[in-house]
Amino acid sequence: MTLSARFRPRGGLSLWLGATLVAVLIAAAVLSIIWTPYPPTAIDIPHKLAPPSHAHWFGTDNLGRDVASQILAGSRVSILVGVIAVGIGLAFGIVLGLIAAFSKGLVEDGLMKLSDFMFAFPALLLAIMLTSTFGPGVVNAIIAIGVYNVPIIAKLTRATANGVLSREYALAARAAGRGPIAIAVDHVLPNIAPALIVQATIQFAIAILAEAALSYLGLGAQPPQTSWGKMLADAQNVLYNAPRLALYPGIAIALSVLGLNLLGDGLRDALDPKLKARS
C-alpha cells in the first residue's frame, strides 16, 4: 500500500496526462477532416524524401506526400478502428459475460468454452482469415478486431460479475426481492465498470496496434486511404535512406497507446468513491 502511494502521482496525474494525449489524438482526427497542411494523397515526386523544413514540418515520404498531413489523416483511421472495434467488443462481450455469470451451470460453461475457442486464434490470424474471406479494407479490419475483443471482454465481465455476485450486498439485493436484471444494472455494472474501463482503454490501444499490423500487411487501409500502419509499411522500403519516416508514425502510435492507458488508469481511480474522499 505504501509503496504504490509513493510511486503513484497524487491528484490524478495519470488522468490529466492521459486525457491530454487522447484529446490531442481526437483533435488531430477531427482537424484532419477539415484541414491538413497538404492533401495527404498529393503526390509530388520532385520533392520526395525531403527532410523536415518550414514547408513540410515532418518532411515528405518516398512519393513526395507530406508526412504531417498523413499523420493527421491516419489518426482518423486509428480512432475509428479503436472506437468501433472496442464498441463491438463491449456491446457483445458485456452481454455474453453477464448472461454467463447469472446463468451459471451449463450456460456459463458453454459460453466460456466458446470464448476460449475464439481466444485460441491469434488476433492477427483471425483478422487475416476474415479479411481474406471478405476482402481487405478498413471496415473488415475493424470487424475482425472487434470480434477478437468480444471474448476478452466477455471473460472479464463474467469474472468480475461473479465477484460482485458473491458479495453480500448482492445477496442482500436478492433478499430484498430484486430480480436479476435489476441486480445487473444497479449493482453489477457499476462495480465492474472500473475494470471494464481499464480493459477498454487497453483494447483500444491494442486495436490501434492491430490495425497498424494489418495495414502493414496490406490487409487494412488500402490506397489511397492512409493509416499509421500503412505508413510504417511504406517506410520499410526506404528505411536506410530516411529512418525518420518510420519514426513519425511509430511515435504517433506510441503516444496514443500511452495516452489511452494513462486515461484508463486515471478514470478508474477517478470513479472510485473511496478514493474520491481522499483526494
Partner 1 sequence: MSDAPLLEISSLVKTYRSPGIGPFARQNARPALAGVSFSVHQGRSFGIVGESGSGKSTLARIALALDRPDSGMVRLQGRSLFDLPRRELRPMRAHMQMIFQDPYGSLDPRQRVEKIVAEPLAALGIAGRGERRARVRASLEAVGLKASDASKHPHEFSGGQRQRIAIARALITRPRLVVADEPVSALDVSVQAQTLNLMSDLEREAGVTFLLISHDLAVVAHICETTAVMYRGRIVEIGETAAMFAHPAHPYTRELVDATPRLDRDRHREGHRASEDARLSTGYGDAAIQSHRSGPSSPGLLRFVRNDELGSIRQGHVPDGGADTTEGCPYVSRCAFARPRCREEAPMLETKGGGSRKVACHFPLD
Partner 2 sequence: MLLEVAELAVDVPTPSGLQRVVDRTSFSLGEGESLGVVGESGSGKTMTALALMALTPEGARVSGSIRFEGRELVGRSEDEMMQLRGDRIAMIFQEPMTALNPLRRVGAQVAEPLMLHRGLSKREAQARAVELLNHVRLAEPERAARSYPFALSGGERQRAMIAMAIGCAPHLVIADEPTTALDVTVQARILALIDGLKSESKMAILLVSHDLAVIAGHCDRVIVMYAGMIMESGPVEAVLRQPRNPYTLALLEARPRPGAPRGARLATIPGAPSVAHGHHEGCPFAGRCALTVDICRTVTPPEVAFGAGHISRCHRAGEVGFAP
- Using CB under 8 A as the criterion, which residues of the chain lie in contact with partner 2 when the complex forms? 1-3, 5, 278
- Of 182, 239, 251, 254, the one binding partner 1 (CB under 8 A) is 182
Is position 109 an interface residue for partner 1 (rule: CB under 8 A)?
A: no
How many other β-carbons are positioned within 10 Å of the β-carbon of residue 67?
27
Residue 144 is placed in which grid cell? 475482425
Is position 172 an interface residue for partner 1 (rule: CB under 8 A)?
A: yes
- Of 31, 171, 181, 239, the one binding partner 1 (CB under 8 A) is 171
Whole-number Å distance between alpha carbons of 253 and 229: 9
- Of 3, 5, 34, 175, the one binding partner 1 (CB under 8 A) is 175
The candidate with the shortest Cα–Cα distance to 144, out of 217, 35, 201, is: 217
> If contact means CB under 5 to 8 A according to the sort of partner, which of partner 1, partner 2, none does residue 54 touch?
none
- Of 68, 173, 196, 206, the one binding partner 1 (CB under 8 A) is 173
> If contact means CB under 5 to 8 A according to the sort of partner, which of partner 2, partner 1, none does residue 155 touch?
none
Q: Are residues 18 and 255 in contact, defined by beta-carbon separation less than 8 angstroms?
A: no
> If contact means CB under 5 to 8 A according to the sort of partner, which of partner 1, partner 2, none does residue 5 touch?
partner 2
Is position 103 an interface residue for partner 1 (rule: CB under 8 A)?
A: no
In terms of CB distance, is 43 or 171 closer to partner 1?
Answer: 171
In terms of CB distance, is 5 or 106 closer to partner 2?
Answer: 5
For residues 44 to 73, the per-residue mask of contacts with partner 1, x marking binding by CB under 8 A and - elsewhere, is: ------------------------------
Q: Which residue has the cell 504517433?
A: 252
CA 192 to chain centre: 19
Q: 246 burial class (0-12, 13-18, 19+ CB within 10 angstroms)?
A: middle
Is position 117 an interface residue for partner 1 (rule: CB under 8 A)?
A: no
The candidate with the shortest Cα–Cα distance to 271, out of 189, 176, 154, is: 189
Dihedral of the CA atoms 102, 106, 112, 114 (nearest 10)?
Answer: -130
The candidate with the shortest Cα–Cα distance to 249, out of 95, 28, 101, 91, is: 28
> If contact means CB under 5 to 8 A according to the sort of partner, which of partner 2, partner 1, none does residue 134 touch?
none
User: Which DSSP category does 136 fall into?
Assistant: -
In terms of CB distance, is 122 or 190 closer to partner 1?
Answer: 190
In terms of CB distance, is 10 or 54 closer to partner 2?
Answer: 10
In terms of CB distance, is 80 or 270 closer to partner 1?
Answer: 270
Q: Are residues 214 and 232 in contact, defined by beta-carbon separation less than 8 angstroms?
A: no
